[in-house]
Chain A
Amino acid sequence: MPAFAKKSAEVVLETVGLTKTFGGLTAVDALDLRVHRGEISSLIGPNGAGKTTVFNVVTGIYRPEGGKVLFQGENITGRKPHRIVERGIARTFQNIRLFQNLTCLENVMAGRHARTRSGLLAALLRPGSQVEEEKETRRLAEERLSEVGLWESRHELARNIPYGRQRMLEIARALATSPRLIVLDEPSSGLNPRETGDLMEFIKRIIREEDLTILLIEHDMNVVMGISDWVTVMDGGRKIAEGHPRQIYHDPRVIEAYLGGGT
């Protein structure tokens, strides 16, 4: 597998002056964010800083009131979520949103939806092309499951596997969409230290092996320091700092934001 240069010059995701308000509350205030190809970029900040809102706007769940979102140069602002997945952005959720009563395999197969075509007639008449597509969907889904170590559990219902494994299942489902950019919302939340370590190794591995870029929201500083190439800090909807992890760690503004020095 070709190695991809980290921190290449190419900008994969960019938000320009992104603003999102809910009634009177400004959740995101004129945010400029830039993520480069092959990078692991972290978005951190105290609770309520607007991080998940940024994700929701980028993935099409919310329309922003101002600014725009550019993905690989294309303006995707306000597009519908499934279109954005087709373009190549996949995500996971803070509170894990799996298809609880479907099997692990079915969950990951769902990820192939945006990359497959079979419609109503194909489903009813079962031409060769549809049968092939189904086989391929299964195969790719099983591959992703093996990658995250869930091969044995593939016929288990998603709600019956342990929490830590559910997180990995969600990531496997996101990977199944063959994305260019994966957006992970607090992936280490609820994981014990060993699982967190496995997660970090996994992320580092897939970045090496595939042409992927990762943007994540994290509270666990070990994860942020351990794998990020770039860190952006938000507070009160605004970007207050950005830079290499080491720089951010010692930045007084960041420390103050976390310790609640104002607002």
Chain B
Amino acid sequence: MPALSGSLTGSRTARLALMAGVILALVIFPFFASDYLLDVAFFFGIYVLLGLSLNIVLGEVGLYDLGHAGFYAIGAYTTAVLNTRFGIPVLILLPVSALAAGLFAYLVTSPIIHLRGDYLCIVTIGMGEIVRLALINNPLGLTGGPNGVYGIDSPTLGFLALDSSTGYYVLIWVVVALSILALYRLQRSRIGRAWNCIREDEIAAQATGIDVRAYKLLAFVLGAALAGVAGNLYAVKLMVVSPESFTFWESCLMFSIVLIGGMGSVPGVIIGAAAISLFPEIFRSFASYRLVVFGVVMILMMMFRPGGAWPRRRGGTEAQDLIRRLGRSRG
């Protein structure tokens, strides 16, 4: 056995143990948690999904997207409208919502994808607001105006009704787990590399043969689709959707999740989502102060850990290398 650098194996074992521990905790949790706690865990999961979805655009590619709530809204409203008007089962609407949000993202970002960082940021803010305002204005009588759409069905899997707090909990965390798996695969693929190159230096990326425009667009579409999934699950849980859940503030929260957690880092997003969704729960009694504290935390984070709470570890190539060498030595 070749000599192994202690820190590398140490951290690797530690991370595997941590992952196993988290999975165990997630599985055991419903058995002794109250409905209230399960609901909190559900919304935690929603924010993890939203954070992951924005992470594709912001963390991997480095595009400043402050209008992501718009895609979230499209997903939620697609589910709400198609379910209440046409009775389509909500779980079937999950991929449909993802598609709708993704398609919307494609149409809307195509003309602006070439814009420079800060300008893109402003445009995304505008887009998010346009979606919200359009929803309030109730075009074609579809969206129910400021009151939104209500009476969304509960999810059923065949004859298995999932409408208990536990059911929703399982649903969201299964989706989160699948999303994390997919994102890890993307990260370690040709696409993920292309995205990271674009984030580092667009011009160099182009000069290295990467179709920058296409990959940026792909990131937006995938990020929107995942946000659409979150929208579907949100609509299903709440049974009501209204425009006030999809404000610029929501986009800011998602943005903060990615930034506070660590750009491009999946564990970081989970931590960020925990901070965003659980932190206000703890401070529920200090309702208005909590936001001030939140703002202070944001600034302090940027001062002392601008890389995020759990920055992405580069050099995943090093770990893979080690595994290969271990494998070879065993002959």
Q: Do chains A and B touch in the complex (CB under 8 A)?
A: yes
Are B208 and A113 interface neighbours, CB within 8 A?
yes
Bin the interface of chain B by size.
20 to 34
Chain A positions within 8 Å of B191 at CB level? 118-120, 123
Residue of A97, A119, A155 near B318 (CB, 8 A) is A155
Are B315 and A155 interface neighbours, CB within 8 A?
yes
Q: Say whether, besides A103-B314, A103-B317, A119-B191, A113 and B185 are in contact (CB < 8 Å).
A: no
Chain B positions within 8 Å of A61 at CB level? 203, 206-207
Are B209 and A98 interface neighbours, CB within 8 A?
no
Are B193 and A109 interface neighbours, CB within 8 A?
yes
Please choose the segment from B13-21, B128-136, B194-202 that sits at the chain A interface, where 4 or more of its residues have CB less than 8 A away.
B194-202
Are B317 and A110 interface neighbours, CB within 8 A?
no
Are A106 and B193 interface neighbours, CB within 8 A?
yes
Are B192 and A123 interface neighbours, CB within 8 A?
yes
In the bound complex, what is the Cα–Cα distance between A109 and B222 (angstroms)? Answer: 24
B212 proximal to A (CB < 8 A): yes
Are A124 and B209 interface neighbours, CB within 8 A?
no
Chain A residue with Cβ nearest B194: A113
In the bound complex, what is the Cα–Cα distance between A131 and B200 (angstroms)? Answer: 25
Are A126 and B185 interface neighbours, CB within 8 A?
yes
A105 proximal to B (CB < 8 A): yes
Residue of B207, B222, B318 near A59 (CB, 8 A) is B207
Chain A positions within 8 Å of B317 at CB level? 103, 105-106, 138, 154-155
Residue of A82, A102, A116 near B196 (CB, 8 A) is A102
In the bound complex, what is the Cα–Cα distance between A61 and B209 (angstroms)? Answer: 12
Encoded as 1 (CB less than 8 Å from any A CB) or 0, chain B from 206 to 249 comes to 11111110000010001000000000000000000000000000
A85 proximal to B (CB < 8 A): yes
Taking CB atoms and an 8 Å cut-off, the chain B residues in 308-322 that contact chain A are: 314-315, 317-318, 321
Chain A residue with Cβ nearest B264: A101
A157 proximal to B (CB < 8 A): yes
Are A111 and B206 interface neighbours, CB within 8 A?
no
Q: How far is the CB of A23 from chain B (nearest CB, A)?
A: 19
Encoded as 1 (CB less than 8 Å from any B CB) or 0, chain A from 61 to 90 comes to 100000000000000000011100110001
Are A124 and B186 interface neighbours, CB within 8 A?
yes
B189 proximal to A (CB < 8 A): yes
Q: How far is the CB of B123 from chain A (nearest CB, A)?
A: 22
Chain A positions within 8 Å of B222 at CB level? 120
Chain A positions within 8 Å of B205 at CB level? 99, 110
In the bound complex, what is the Cα–Cα distance between A103 and B200 (angstroms)? Answer: 12
Chain B residue with Cβ nearest A81: B206
Q: How far is the CB of A85 from chain B (nearest CB, A)?
A: 4
Q: How far is the CB of B57 from chain A (nearest CB, A)?
A: 15
B204 proximal to A (CB < 8 A): yes
Q: How far is the CB of A68 from chain B (nearest CB, A)?
A: 21
Chain B residue with Cβ nearest A99: B200
Q: Say whether, besides A119-B191, A123-B192, A91 and B207 are in contact (CB < 8 Å).
A: yes
Encoded as 1 (CB less than 8 Å from any A CB) or 0, chain B from 157 to 199 comes to 0000000000000000000000000100110011111101100
Chain B residue with Cβ nearest A100: B200
Are B193 and A113 interface neighbours, CB within 8 A?
yes
A180 proximal to B (CB < 8 A): no
A167 proximal to B (CB < 8 A): no
Most B CB contacts (10 A, CB to CB) among A98, A113, A173 go to A113
Chain A positions within 8 Å of B196 at CB level? 99, 102, 106
Are A82 and B201 interface neighbours, CB within 8 A?
no
Chain B positions within 8 Å of A130 at CB level? 189
Q: How far is the CB of B125 from chain A (nearest CB, A)?
A: 27
Are A123 and B190 interface neighbours, CB within 8 A?
yes
Are B189 and A123 interface neighbours, CB within 8 A?
yes
Residue of B192, B193, B209, B315 near A85 (CB, 8 A) is B209
Are A124 and B207 interface neighbours, CB within 8 A?
no
Chain B positions within 8 Å of A118 at CB level? 189-191
Chain B positions within 8 Å of A133 at CB level? 190
Are A123 and B186 interface neighbours, CB within 8 A?
yes
Most B CB contacts (10 A, CB to CB) among A120, A130, A154 go to A120
Q: Say whether, besides A97-B201, A123-B186, A110 and B207 are in contact (CB < 8 Å).
A: no
Encoded as 1 (CB less than 8 Å from any B CB) or 0, chain A from 149 to 188 comes to 0000011010000000000000001100100000000000
Q: Say whether, besides A61-B206, A85-B209, A106-B317, A101 and B190 are in contact (CB < 8 Å).
A: no
Q: Say whether, besides A116-B190, A123-B186, A99 and B197 are in contact (CB < 8 Å).
A: yes
- B binding-site residues for A, Cβ under 8 Å: 182, 185-186, 189-194, 196-197, 200-201, 203-212, 218, 222, 314-315, 317-318, 321
Q: What are 10 A-B residue pairs whose CB atoms fall within 8 Å in the complex? A: A82-B209, A82-B210, A99-B200, A102-B196, A113-B208, A116-B190, A123-B190, A124-B182, A155-B321, A157-B315
In addition to A103-B318, A106-B317, A109-B193, 17 A-B residue pairs with Cβ atoms within 8 Å of each other are A82-B206, A97-B203, A97-B204, A97-B207, A99-B204, A100-B200, A102-B314, A106-B314, A110-B193, A110-B210, A113-B193, A113-B208, A123-B185, A123-B186, A123-B191, A124-B182, A124-B186
